[in-house]
Structures are given as C-alpha cells and as structure tokens.
C-alpha cells in the first residue's frame, strides 16, 4: 500500500499502520523497550515530519500525476528475484537456534548495555543526531 498508492497522504497513513504493526511484532519478540521506542519515535516524530513535509509540498492532490515511474516492471523483476534468492538462502541456512528465553527485563539489559559496552556508539549517535538536525535546519532555511 505504502508504495503504490497514488495519493501520497493515503500511503502515509498506511505507513503509520505499518509502524504500529511492527511495534506489535517487537512485543511478540520480547522486545518491549524497542517497541516503545518505535512507537515513540517513528510514529510520533517521523510521521509528524512526513505529514508536515507532505503538506508543505502540496501538489499531492492532482490526479494527473503518475505516481510510479517507468521502472516498475524491471523493478518488479529484480525485486522478485531478490526475494526469491533471499528466501531460499534463509531456508537453507541452518540457524543455531537457542531455546532459552530472554532473561529478565529487556529494558534493564538494554540500559546496561548502552552505558557499558556500547557507550561510544551511543555518544556518537547523539552527536550525529545533533549534527543532522542542525544541518536540516540550515538547509531548509529561507534566505
């Protein structure tokens, strides 16, 4: 849906639906914290961003504009091929599956990990975020 609808706003709404579904999947996978973060950030921030953007670039309603370009068929082919390949690989690989469950609360573990083993990436990512946002503001400034 997301990728095919003509009306971009509608596809955005389907995207929101996607996000929520994925959050649910995370919960299924005993990743509560991630689910929460997903909802918070994706649905909250990014979706709002996209809505604003769509509003600002406002020719979304004209029906005469073709939404998909000429690469559809080749794109389909290639993607299909990829899909087939990936799935087959997945199928053949013997994954080492552990049968244990997650110990304790995932949130606590994540917190621990973030501030010990992964403290450097943590900091860096913060900086990246900062830079990106400042950059975005600067780029989009009106002269």
Shortest distance (Å) from residue 73 CB to other proteins: 10
Q: Which is nearer to other proteins, 63 or 109 (CB)?
A: 109
The closest of 142, 122, 143, 124 to 132, measured between CA atoms, is 124
Q: Are 27 and 36 in contact (CB under 8 A)?
A: no
Q: Are 32 and 106 in contact (CB under 8 A)?
A: yes
Q: Contacts by 18-24 with C-beta closer than 8 Å and gap 24+?
A: 19/43, 19/47
Shortest distance (Å) from residue 63 CB to other proteins: 13
Shortest distance (Å) from residue 47 CB to other proteins: 9
Q: Are 10 and 22 in contact (CB under 8 A)?
A: no
- As given in the structure block, the two tokens for residue 78 are 């290639």
Shortest distance (Å) from residue 91 CB to other proteins: 7
């Amino acid at each position: 849906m997301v990728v095919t609808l003509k009306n971009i706003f509608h596809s955005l709404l389907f995207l929101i639906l996607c996000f929520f579904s994925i959050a649910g999947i995370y919960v299924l996978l005993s990743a509560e914290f991630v689910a929460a973060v997903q909802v918070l950030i994706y649905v909250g921030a990014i979706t709002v961003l996209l809505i604003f953007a769509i509003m600002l670039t406002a020719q979304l309603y004209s029906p005469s504009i073709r939404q998909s370009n000429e690469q559809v068929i080749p794109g389909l082919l290639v993607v299909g091929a990829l899909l087939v390949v990936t799935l087959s690989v997945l199928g053949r690989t013997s994954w080492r599956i552990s049968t244990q469950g997650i110990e304790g609360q995932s949130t606590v573990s994540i917190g621990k990990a973030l501030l010990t083993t992964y403290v450097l990436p943590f900091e860096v990512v913060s900086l990246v975020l900062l830079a990106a946002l400042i950059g975005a503001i600067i780029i989009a400034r009106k002269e």
